[in-house]
């Protein structure tokens, strides 16, 4: 995805210079560029959200492992006393 913010007089999608009329109305050359930019932006945001998430099963197994380790540590400390 290309994000062009080097010049505010250019289309955010393709980088072409906008006409005088478009400068006051829009940040894109045409409607197809607006929808393509929005689609790419949404896809990028969704992919970033999905990459960092774990499944519920993974979260539960990690919690269970932590509990087991904590109980083993407690029992070993009680045996030393």
Q: Of residues 49 and 5, which shows the higher confidence score?
A: 49
Contact between 1 and 14 under an 8 Å Cβ cutoff? The reply is no
Q: Which residue has the tokens 């407690």?
A: 74
Domain assignment present for 8 = no
Domain assignment present for 67 = yes
Q: How far apart are CA 1 and CA 77, in angstroms?
A: 56
Domain assignment present for 31 = yes
pLDDT of residue 26: 81
Structural domain range at position 49: 20-80
Contact between 48 and 37 under an 8 Å Cβ cutoff? The reply is no
Q: How many separate domains does the chain show?
A: 1
Global pTM value: 0.51
Domain assignment present for 6 = no
Q: pLDDT band for position 5 (50/70/90)?
A: low
Contact between 68 and 25 under an 8 Å Cβ cutoff? The reply is no
């Amino acid at each position: 995805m290309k994000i062009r913010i080097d010049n505010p007089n250019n289309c955010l999608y393709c980088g072409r210079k906008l006409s005088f009329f478009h400068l006051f109305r829009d940040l894109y050359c045409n409607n197809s560029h607006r929808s393509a930019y929005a689609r790419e932006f949404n896809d990028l945001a969704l992919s970033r959200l999905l990459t960092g998430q774990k499944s519920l099963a993974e979260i539960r197994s990690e919690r269970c492992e932590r509990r087991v380790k904590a109980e083993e540590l407690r029992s070993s400390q009680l045996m030393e006393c």
